[in-house]
Amino acid sequence: MRRKELIGRRVVDLETGTEVGIVRELIIDSSLRRMTGLLVEVPAAGGVAALSLRSVFALENDTVTIRSFQDLQVPQGREVNGAKHLCRQLIGRRVLTPDGRECGVVEDLVVDPFSGDLAGYELSAGLISDILEGRKMLPAGEITFLGRDVIITKPFDEL
């Protein structure tokens, strides 16, 4: 499931049947290569709250269902739910091989909706290339380092 498919989905509490918010971002732990939660805009609370993936009942369909509104947590400081990144921090980063070859720019992330595992990165090589050849999918296991400015992948001949 692509990140873009989850953003904007409504979040419903199964205990009360109430719509509690809207998904604004995915929370990932890049060292574990997995989604650990969701950042949810909660109008009743006047801001955003973090929701652990363990508290999600289902997210693969039209609406994200959660076990209880009580599972939403207000983020403290810079880290959200113990995460190292929000997905939006990875969008737009260049992907390079160790010898400096550009593979493209991250346009989207793909996660397994059941396990939360990060399946891969959708890369764009530019509008013309995207139209003629389509976007490329880089499996998450091919990434060797997530830097502040660029993402380093395995050597070009190994991809």
Angle at the Cα of 81 (from 79 to 87), degrees rounded to 5? 75
- pLDDT for the residue 13: 93
Model pLDDT for residues 114-140, shown as the tens digit of each residue? 889 989 999 988 788 778 887 888 898
Segments of the chain scoring below 70 in pLDDT: 75-85, 156-159
Average pLDDT, the chain: 84
- Kindly list the distances between the CA atom of residue 86 and the CA atoms of 50, 90, 126, 152, in Å, as whole numbers in the listed order: 11, 8, 24, 18
What is the model's pTM? 0.79
Hey, what domains does the chain have and what are their CATH numbers?
3-87 (2.30.30.240), 88-158 (2.30.30.240)
Length of the chain: 159
- pLDDT for the residue 158: 47
H or E element at residue 4: helix 3-6
What is the residue whose two structure tokens read 């400096």?
A: 100
Neighbours of 56 (CB within 10 A): 20
